[in-house]
Amino acid sequence: MIYELSGTVGVLPFDLTLRELLIMAESKLKVSWLQTSAIVSMILNVNRDPKNKPVPLDYFSPYKQKEKIINDTKSAFSAMREVFCKGKNNGARRKSR
């Protein structure tokens, strides 16, 4: 795995840790996707109908997906309950003996 990552990044792995190689490889993949997104969006925008809106770069990049922000407090708490309380009683209190 270390040699695969060093081959992706293009450096010798001798003085680097696995964590450093993972960070470098992920950064290289992000840059590659940014370049690919730029080319694809440019081709699409040049050939699009002038009546349509231009397509942004972020549309094609998997690293630039926008996160859904929950502004409603009730929805936020229900989302947190789903994530953190899976398999539990979902807030039901135990009866004391």
Residue 11, pLDDT score: 85
Q: Is the dihedral of CA 70, 74, 78, 81 positive or negative?
A: positive
Pull the structure tokens for residue 19.
Answer: 């964590």
Taking each helix axis from N to C terminus, what angle separates 18-46 and 2-9, rounded to the nearest 10 degrees?
40
* 18 Cβ neighbours under 8 A, 6+ residues apart: 1, 2, 5
Q: Give the range of the structural domain holding residue 35, as residue numbers without chain letter.
A: 2-66
Q: Tell me the C-alpha to C-alpha distance, in Å, between residue 53 and each of 38, 50, 91.
A: 16, 8, 47
Answer yes or no: is 89 within a domain: no
Q: How many domains does the chain have?
A: 1
CA 35 – CA 40 distance, rounded (Å):
9
pLDDT at 43 (0 to 100): 92
33-57 per-position pLDDT tens digit: 889 989 999 999 999 888 988 888 8
Q: How far apart are CA 97 and CA 84, in angstroms?
A: 27
Residue-wise pLDDT for 51-89, tens only, equals 988 888 888 878 776 555 656 777 777 777 887 787 666
Does residue 44 fall inside a structural domain? yes
Within-domain flag for 27? yes
Under 8 Å between Cβ of 60 and 41: yes
